[in-house]
Amino acid sequence: MTSMKTSIPVSESVSSVDMEIGSSWTDSNTSISSTNSYEAMVKVIQTKPRFHSIKDAIHNKILNLRAEGRVDERSFYICDIGEIRRQLNLWKSELPFIKPYYAVKCNPNEEFIKNMISIEPEMGFDCASLAEIETILRINGFINRDNLIYANPIKPISQLRYANNNDVNLTTIDSIEEVEKIANFTDGKMKVLIRIQTDDSSATCPLSVKFGANLQYSEKIVEKCIQLGVQIRGVAFHVGSGFKDSNTLVKAVDDSYKLIEIIEKNQGNKCDIIDVGGGFSKESFKESAKILRQEMEFKFGKSISNGEIKVISELGRFLSASCFTLVSNVIGTREEIGGGKTRVYLNDGLYGNLNCILYDHQEVEPIVITSNGEYVYQESKSNDKKLYSIWGPTCDGLDCISKRVELNYDIKCGDFIGFENCGAYTNAAATKFNGFTNEFDYEFIES
């Protein structure tokens, strides 16, 4: 394979109104609108939301909870479908040649996924377990299986068999042992992407400590695949969830190019897929997209432009984080003697939706929704700041959301506190520890 820089088209301007999401990702031969499965697909389209602003939706939900007398039972989410559209538009404006595969693990809420499919019927999905594959097949059993990847380098045999039997025939590997497992249990149908190791030391959640093969070991994986008749379709990499150094993408693309040359030389067949992983965040996306686009143009531009190579990405937080606002109820307060600080206890915490503080290293910013029962969300703030610490509902002393935060409002029992950008790695890992619920209410709007 010869490296040749070929310009890959990038949209100059994008409008959520006049642009059809997915036009660059959809194969005209497999478009769902041209198949009998279209009628099944439209069933997932949601009833038009009643509200068009997060503010109105939160207010209405609180009024309903008060009327029903269950304000403290569970926290609730407001999901903005319009934000899904905006994020997909942003992605396509910068990286139109890379097809998004939504990482189900990030937020498996089925109504959210249904709304995503209604916006982009040819959306791909990154599933890492049997349950995640089942979720997507339950939502849309007619999905084009080319839009599914079993993206977990280590798989239980039973789950590998399930994927294979349901025609999910593309997976990632990073070991010789996994090649042997695939050869033994998938009847030659399962194809693979070799996941390479990356330098993700700057990422919020590094993944290479667990997954990925260096180039030297990857060559041995190639040899084993050829020996056992497991077809290699390409290469996958992931520079870490919430990565901060976009330059790590440069080496990852370069290593991918080197490995593809080795695969094609030894296997004979051309590679046709590159998986560039995920970890992209809304705030730094344009910078990282520019670097990734330039490197892909330099190394694979001609192959991408002529359709020889399909490029996919495992998008989780990029698509879901900013779509969700979490609202929790204040179940108690306590004035600290001599400390000038008030402890606020919520009906949600680190064992619930805010586990992202522990597992995803997120820094959440509490927002006062009601003060002394009055709705103050997005209203002009008082100049008088008060000092608080905020805690979850469990008996664990580690269940602390914020040890010290200044807020512009007085907070009493029965009030509500909100957290924006809470759609990634939150509800997915909520537990029932201490007897508290991990089931939450969801309201959908479109702004």
Residue with tokens 């269940």: 399
32/19 Cα distance (integer angstroms) = 18
252/219 Cα distance (integer angstroms) = 16
If you write DSSP's letter for every residue of 3-16 in order, what string do you get?
A: ---------S---T
141/107 Cα distance (integer angstroms) = 20
Comparing CA positions, the residue from 419, 433, 432, 429 lying closest to residue 77 is 419
356 classed as catalytic: no
DSSP letter, residue 382: P
> Which two tokens mark 222?
């190639």
Residue with tokens 């939150």: 426
On the 0-12 / 13-18 / 19+ scale of CB atoms within 10 A, 158 is exposed
301/381 Cα distance (integer angstroms) = 51
- 203: number of Cβ within 10 Å: 21
> Which two tokens mark 257?
């190019």
CA atoms within 13 A on the CB side of 244: 6
253/234 Cα distance (integer angstroms) = 12
- Report the sign of the C-alpha dihedral through residues 279, 112, 391, 372, in that order: positive
132/136 Cα distance (integer angstroms) = 7
- 283: number of Cβ within 10 Å: 10
Comparing CA positions, the residue from 344, 353, 341 lying closest to residue 412 is 344
DSSP helix/strand/coil, 244: coil
Considering the candidates 79, 106, 323, 395, report the single residue annotated as catalytic: 395
Q: What does each C-alpha distance from 113 to 45, 137, 139, 427 come to in angstroms?
A: 10, 12, 8, 14
**The one-letter amino acid at 157:** I
122 within 8 A of 438, measured Cβ to Cβ: no
Enumerate the active-site residues. Answer: 395
